[in-house]
Structure formats: structure tokens, C-alpha cells
Amino acid sequence: MKLFSCLVCLLACAAPAFVAVAAQNDPSVPAGLEKAAHLPDGRVGFYVLDLDSGASASWGNDGVYPMMSVFKFPLALSVLSRVDAGQLHLDTKYELRGKLLDPKTWSPLREKFPQGGSFTLRELLRYSVMESDNNACDFLFGLIGGPAAAQADLKKWGVEDISIRVVEGAMQNDWQAIYLNSARPSAMAALLKLFAEGKILREATNRELWEMMAGCKTGTDRLVQGMPAGAVLAHKTGSSGVRQDGLVGALNDVGVAVLPDGRRLAICAFVSDSRRPVKECASVIAALSRWACSEWGVPAGGK
């Protein structure tokens, strides 16, 4: 299935501190990729996969990177797989009392409904995926049995090198905990491929998630910034914020792009453990996106 016929017919403490490098003129590194991935310090992980030809290119894929809210994408897959199985229903309403909504975490839901309220599963998924709401995210974890259940799903789907160990609440007061949910860029691309090809969810639930990710409201300075006019991007971002000493633990964006020329790309970009300004870290992700969409060229059938 071609992305629903192209939209229906369209740890730094515990983490390894190294900078991914490649020798200049290394023939295994496509032209322009090293320049796009350049960041004076920190780690950059990148993987792009052409979903039709199978061609790929990568930078720093030998490492794993803290996902932050990127893990809300596999969480959504886990929730919706239970909808497909009849265990959950998108229109079921759940009561979230205001006193149970953490006021110290990122939560557009709580900002809009400080006293809480009654929300359908579909609404909670939208808050988690589209607005990266942490309170909605942890409630969804509770519905499926916690991080271990999401990890078991990844194993069932044959995806390795993605680790989901803690909920959002566990990361609020423990910086080192942000490194517990991690991914290798190529592993995330593999999961995006399964999603794009409809191999995890049924068509209706797959479309629900696609539309949520295409409506993502966060990270407009990252992958989307590098997209050509007319492209469609279904994506999920992740951000750690900045530690008191100026460390950006993670700034990420992963997604599936449908380009005007018909190409479909899974693009995964992770920046970790950098002391450069957040704006500069975001500009690296935008540069990688621009390179993948506009500069990367692979001969037919080549990898």
C-alpha cells in the first residue's frame, strides 16, 4: 500500500560522548551528507530510506540516541493495534481528573482543561501524537500495560534497537532517565517503513495515525523546514529541553515524507549531547531533510 495511495490518492552523563565522523572523500558517504550533518559538538544520527527502491544513506547510525517524545509514535502503534484487536475503542471516553494531571510537564491538554475532563481515546492519541502531550502519553501507557507492553510489541513486529523503558513522568526529575528510551536511526526507519506499508495496523487505524502525524504541531524548524513545496510529511518530534549547564540532551524528528516527484522517504534525524543552541541543532535536522529530499540521488536499483 503506497501510504494510502499517497494520502488516499495523493546516558550526557550515561550516554556515549562522541561525534560521528567520516573520512573526507569516503566513497561510502554520499556527496553533501557530511556537510549537512555537521555540528561542532554533540552527536548526530541520521538515516534516510527510499521506501520504494530500498536505497538508503546514513550518518552516525552506529550509535543509539535518546528518543524523547519520538517514542510516542511506537506507543501510538501499540495503542491502535489494540483497537484493531477489539481491546480498545477510539470512541471510548476516559475521565482524567485535574489533580492527576502533572502541572510540571509539557501538557497542552492540561493548559486547556486544568480541571481535567472526559476525553475519547482518539482525542488522547491526538494530544499525544500531534501536540506531544506528556499527560496524555502516560495515560495511554497505562491503558496498554506500560513501557514493557510497547517493547513487547516492537519485538513482535521484528524491530530491534529501539528501547522503551520509562514513561514521561520518570524523566521529569531525572535527566539521566532520558537516555533509557533510545533508538538507532535505522531501526526507527524500519518501524516507519512497516507503518507506511500498512504492515502493523489495519487500513482505517493506519489512516488515523497517518493523519495525526501529518498534523503534527511541533518541530516546525526541523524536518518540515527542509521539505520542498508540495511535500507531505507525517512525523513525530522529540525534545529534551536544555539542562542548566547548557546541554541539549536530545532534539529529534522522524517521519515519512511523500515528495512532489512521488518519492516516499522514511527520514530519521537525532541530535544528542550538544552544547550548541537549540536553534542550531534544529538547523542541522533541517539541513539533513533538505539534503535527503533535494540533493540525494541514487541510480535506479542502487543502494
* 65-66: strand order across its sheet: 65-66, 182-183, 162-163
Q: Is there a contact between 257 and 51 (Cβ–Cβ < 8 Å)?
A: no
89: which DSSP letter?
-
Question: In whole angstroms, what is the distance from residue 114 CA to residue 135 CA?
Answer: 12
- CA-based max dimension of the chain: 59
Integer Cα distance of 113 and 96 in angstroms:
10
Indicate the length of the chain as a whole number: 303
3-state secondary structure 168-223: HHHHCCCHHHHHCCEECHHHHHHHHHHHHCCCCCCHHHHHHHHHHHHCCCCCCCCH
Indicate which residues carry an active-site annotation: 69, 168
Nearest to 69 by CA among 138, 146, 144, 157: 138
